[in-house]
Chains A and B, each alone.
Chain A
Amino acid sequence: MKWAALTVFIIFFLLVTVLGFVAARWRKGDLGHIEEWGLAGRRFGTIVTWFLVGGDLYTAYTFIAVPALMYGAGALGFYAVPYTIVVYPIFFMILPRFWSVAKKHGYVTASDFIEGRFDDRLLSLAIAITGIVATMPYIALQLTGMQAVIAAMGVGGEWPLIAAFIILALYTYTSGLRAPAMIAVVKDLMIYITVIVAIIVMPMKLGGFSHIFTSAQAALATHTPKGAFVATPAQFSVYGTLALGSALALFLYPHSMTGVFSASSRKVVQRNMALLPAYSFALGIIALLGFMALAAGIHTKSSNAAVPLLFLKEFPQWFAGFGFAAIAIGALVPAAIMSIAASNLFTRNIYKSYFVKNATPQHEAKVAKFVSLIVKVGALVFIIGFPQQYAISMQQVGGILVLQTVPVLIFGLYTRWFHRRAYLIGWIVGIVYGIYMWGTTGYKSTTYVLHLFGQAMPAYAGIWALIANIIVTVVLSLVFNAVKVGQGEDKTTAADYYTEASM
């Protein structure tokens, strides 16, 4: 048992727990209303939004799994960097429109938008289910990260995880989105401190960058299969498509959407797309922790343990405890936002759409709070019941699923030319094809080698599925528009997409 590390860890954990409950009184609103509980009344300014959306990106998964991939497989793990490079300029164009139309019509979820735009409950249900299903394993993964640091401190068993999750569930229930927003500020400061100290201390202790890279190269060569020091030609298309696919999916995940919708103005959203890349630089450094672990001679079968073991080896124990707390709290914030986002989706687009049509906002808030508890219990069962390896591949599949909402959510934001039925069928094709490709690898890998015109083209399955989805959507739209299948009523107007644009 690492007592010094554990003590520091627990102190910081308790600190954010108190914050989580205090958050209920922050910028006080009626927490019995779903827009207050689930979107904090759309009142977050540039800075809070920066922390909140950054909290979505900077998860325990990033801190544990990206360096783990670098540690195990080498250069491929670095795709997380181009992924976070391209994501902001792309969504700089898209999200302000989304925010505006959501503000104008009071949309809480992406599916609300689909229902308003296409007058199609089935399509909106499809998008809601995709979001909820893709979110569950993502929450479970946050737990995997937490488990890795708790285990590194010598605490065994499931109970610390269960205790942490009960605390998380309680303050999310009482404070709603305000809790993760407030905690995100503390968490990010802790992560930045950890990263800055790591980038100074590690090269000093490990003999400089040059030595870190040379020893990582030597260590990777001994792995089976051999790790790549820089991307190999066979990895090029996989590297690029993984980065692009992950980027396109990121802001369409329900929890990112929640972060964006809670912004107080259109300008806050735009400004954030220009400010958020500050995170990407730290992400690159975090990824390199995998190589630092190799250089430090860390040997572990479970690559998830690489970073925690590196911290324990190279930092004084109390500081390792601080870093662990940063990672664990970094797991709680997104887990809270994700469970809020999933329960918003369930409440608005399944419960209200199909069961209690005249639910008041108060009634919605009550259901959403309750469902947020169920979602977390579900994730907990998931992590305790299934082996970890399974959860990690499920996360990659989460990306494949979310990518299939790209056509309807992004094209739909600009044009109504595409037909609502075509979107639905395209979505089905994309989901089925994506899962099929994943299945052909024995549910182990999300890279699929497509053979076309005598060429073998390996790429992220999510991108292949998205291409199939788009082709089907375009072709069927031509057909449905030609035979004039009913289009449904568009409740939005062109001006709605510019709400507050001229202020």
Chain B
Amino acid sequence: MDNTQPKKKKGSPWWYLLVLVPLIGTLFPSFYSSVSPELWGIPFFYWYQMLWVIISALVTSVMYLALKDS
């Protein structure tokens, strides 16, 4: 019916498991809901989550590079 066969991809699908890293890191506030240690006067609760913005972006970039279709 069509001729676009799925080509074998470069990356292993196991790379998709990386998605769990930010989920575990951020969805359980019991791990990080505290005031100390503070950073520049910012409570841990807030700077920890801001830090995860960067970590999650890196994780997604790694997935992008590892799973690049070509």
Residues on A facing B (Cβ under 8 Å): 75, 78, 81-82, 84-86, 88-90, 92-93, 104, 208-214, 229-233, 235-236, 239-240, 243-244, 266-267, 270-271, 273-274, 277-278, 280-281, 284, 288, 493-499, 501-503
Query: Provided the pairs A229-B43, A496-B2 are in contact, do residues A284 and B18 lie with their beta carbons within 8 angstroms?
Result: no
Question: Smallest CB–CB gap between A73 and chain B, Å?
Answer: 14
Once bound together, how far apart are the Cα atoms of A288 and B45, in whole Å?
12
Mask for B50-70, Cβ within 8 A of A = 1, else 0?
A: 101110110111011001011
Question: Do residues B26 and A85 form an inter-chain contact, with CB atoms below 8 A?
Answer: yes
Question: Do residues A502 and B27 form an inter-chain contact, with CB atoms below 8 A?
Answer: no
Q: Which of A78, A213, A501 contacts B69 (CB 8 A)?
A: A501
Once bound together, how far apart are the Cα atoms of A239 and B33, in whole Å?
11
Question: Do residues B41 and A210 form an inter-chain contact, with CB atoms below 8 A?
Answer: yes
- 22 residue pairs from A and B, CB less than 8 Å apart: A75-B33, A81-B26, A85-B22, A86-B22, A88-B57, A89-B56, A90-B23, A210-B38, A210-B40, A213-B43, A229-B43, A232-B33, A244-B27, A267-B69, A274-B60, A277-B56, A277-B60, A280-B53, A281-B54, A284-B50, A284-B53, A501-B6
Instruction: Kindly name the residue among B29, B33, B64 whose own CB sees the greatest number of chain A CB atoms within 10 A.
Output: B29
Once bound together, how far apart are the Cα atoms of A85 and B5, in whole Å?
34
| 3 closest residue pairs by CB, A with B | A210-B41, A502-B7, A277-B57
Once bound together, how far apart are the Cα atoms of A85 and B25, in whole Å?
10
Interface class of chain A by DSSP: helix
Question: Do residues B33 and A230 form an inter-chain contact, with CB atoms below 8 A?
Answer: yes
Once bound together, how far apart are the Cα atoms of A132 and B18, in whole Å?
34
Residues of A contacting B50 in the complex (Cβ-Cβ under 8 angstroms): 81, 281, 284
Extra contacts besides A92-B63, A277-B56, A493-B1 (9): CB < 8 Å: A82-B26, A82-B49, A89-B63, A92-B19, A209-B42, A274-B63, A284-B50, A498-B4, A503-B70
Question: Smallest CB–CB gap between A24 and chain B, Å?
Answer: 34
Residues of A contacting B19 in the complex (Cβ-Cβ under 8 angstroms): 89-90, 92-93
Question: Do residues A82 and B27 form an inter-chain contact, with CB atoms below 8 A?
Answer: yes
Residues of A contacting B43 in the complex (Cβ-Cβ under 8 angstroms): 213, 229-230
Interface residues of B in 6-35 (CB under 8 A from A): 6-7, 9, 16, 18-19, 21-23, 26-30, 33-35
Chain A: CB-nearest residue to B61: A274
Residues of B contacting A89 in the complex (Cβ-Cβ under 8 angstroms): 18-19, 21-23, 56, 59-60, 63
Q: Which of B2, B35, B64 contacts A270 (CB 8 A)?
A: B64
Instruction: Kindly name the residue among B21, B30, B43 whose own CB sees the greatest number of chain A CB atoms within 10 A.
Output: B43
Question: Do residues B60 and A92 form an inter-chain contact, with CB atoms below 8 A?
Answer: yes
Residues of B contacting A266 in the complex (Cβ-Cβ under 8 angstroms): 69
Question: Do residues A92 and B64 form an inter-chain contact, with CB atoms below 8 A?
Answer: yes
Residues of B contacting A502 in the complex (Cβ-Cβ under 8 angstroms): 4, 6-7, 69-70
Chain B: CB-nearest residue to A279: B53
Chain B: CB-nearest residue to A230: B45
Residues of B contacting A284 in the complex (Cβ-Cβ under 8 angstroms): 46, 49-50, 53
Residues of A contacting B40 in the complex (Cβ-Cβ under 8 angstroms): 209-210
Chain B: CB-nearest residue to A233: B30
Question: Smallest CB–CB gap between A71 and chain B, Å?
Answer: 15
Residues of B contacting A235 in the complex (Cβ-Cβ under 8 angstroms): 29
Question: Smallest CB–CB gap between B60 and chain A, Å?
Answer: 5
Question: Smallest CB–CB gap between B53 and chain A, Å?
Answer: 5
Residues of B contacting A501 in the complex (Cβ-Cβ under 8 angstroms): 6-7, 9, 69
Once bound together, how far apart are the Cα atoms of A235 and B70, in whole Å?
45
Residues of B contacting A499 in the complex (Cβ-Cβ under 8 angstroms): 4
Query: Provided the pairs A230-B34, A277-B60 are in contact, do residues A236 and B29 lie with their beta carbons within 8 angstroms?
Result: yes
Residues of B contacting A280 in the complex (Cβ-Cβ under 8 angstroms): 53, 56-57
Residues of B contacting A495 in the complex (Cβ-Cβ under 8 angstroms): 2, 4-6
Instruction: Kindly name the residue among A104, A235, A274 whose own CB sees the greatest number of chain B CB atoms within 10 A.
Output: A274
Residues of B contacting A88 in the complex (Cβ-Cβ under 8 angstroms): 56-57, 60
Residues of A contacting B29 in the complex (Cβ-Cβ under 8 angstroms): 231, 235-236, 239-240
Chain A: CB-nearest residue to B33: A231
Query: Provided the pairs A229-B43, A240-B27, A240-B28 are in contact, do residues A85 and B56 lie with their beta carbons within 8 angstroms?
Result: yes
Question: Do residues B2 and A493 form an inter-chain contact, with CB atoms below 8 A?
Answer: yes
Question: Do residues B6 and A86 form an inter-chain contact, with CB atoms below 8 A?
Answer: no
Query: Provided the pairs A82-B27, A495-B2 are in contact, do residues A271 and B53 lie with their beta carbons within 8 angstroms?
Result: no
Once bound together, how far apart are the Cα atoms of A499 and B60, in whole Å?
21
Query: Provided the pairs A85-B22, A213-B41, A266-B69 are in contact, do residues A494 and B6 lie with their beta carbons within 8 angstroms?
Result: yes
Once bound together, how far apart are the Cα atoms of A239 and B70, in whole Å?
39
Question: Do residues A86 and B64 form an inter-chain contact, with CB atoms below 8 A?
Answer: no
Question: Do residues B42 and A213 form an inter-chain contact, with CB atoms below 8 A?
Answer: yes
Question: Smallest CB–CB gap between A362 and chain B, Å?
Answer: 27
Question: Do residues A230 and B35 form an inter-chain contact, with CB atoms below 8 A?
Answer: yes
Query: Provided the pairs A93-B16, A493-B1 are in contact, do residues A273 and B41 lie with their beta carbons within 8 angstroms?
Result: no
Once bound together, how far apart are the Cα atoms of A440 and B54, in whole Å?
39
Query: Provided the pairs A288-B46, A502-B69 are in contact, do residues A82 and B52 lie with their beta carbons within 8 angstroms?
Result: yes
Once bound together, how far apart are the Cα atoms of A56 and B22, in whole Å?
22
Question: Do residues A78 and B46 form an inter-chain contact, with CB atoms below 8 A?
Answer: yes
Question: Smallest CB–CB gap between B3 and chain A, Å?
Answer: 8
